[in-house]
Copies of this chain bind each other. A is one copy, B any other.
């Protein structure tokens, strides 16, 4: 493990045009990213937690989506109101917010 971070959040902010399939960027994801960065600042977690906007990470019809590593936890349908809970539980205390976890279809 060469990472100095406890945890890394990737917020999909991918944008697709109208008439394409849904994209997280069209569903408020940039504001989710900004709110997560505010939480990092407020909680003084800079250097412990990284939050990075990303391209498409998969569950496009259930976005906005966020993936958290090293756990590999996927959140879906995240709203601005959910960010404080994700920050308090997962970002600060390492506890997954079960009610927001995305269930991948079985292969």
A residues with CB within 8 A of B: 1-5, 8, 10, 13, 47, 50, 52-58, 67, 69-74, 101-104, 107
**Chain B residues, Cβ within 8 Å of A67:** 3, 8
| A-B residue pairs in contact (CB < 8 Å), sample of 18 | A1-B71, A1-B72, A1-B73, A2-B73, A2-B74, A2-B103, A3-B67, A3-B74, A3-B104, A5-B72, A8-B67, A10-B54, A47-B107, A52-B55, A54-B55, A70-B70, A70-B71, A70-B72
* Given known A-B contacts A2-B101, A102-B2, A10 and B52 have beta carbons under 8 A apart: yes
A50 touches B58 (CB 8 A): yes
A53 touches B50 (CB 8 A): no
A50 touches B57 (CB 8 A): yes
Residue of B nearest to A33 (CB): B55
* Given known A-B contacts A4-B107, A107-B47, A54 and B56 have beta carbons under 8 A apart: no
A52 touches B47 (CB 8 A): no
Measured in the bound complex, the distance between the Cα atoms of B1 and A102 in whole Å is 11
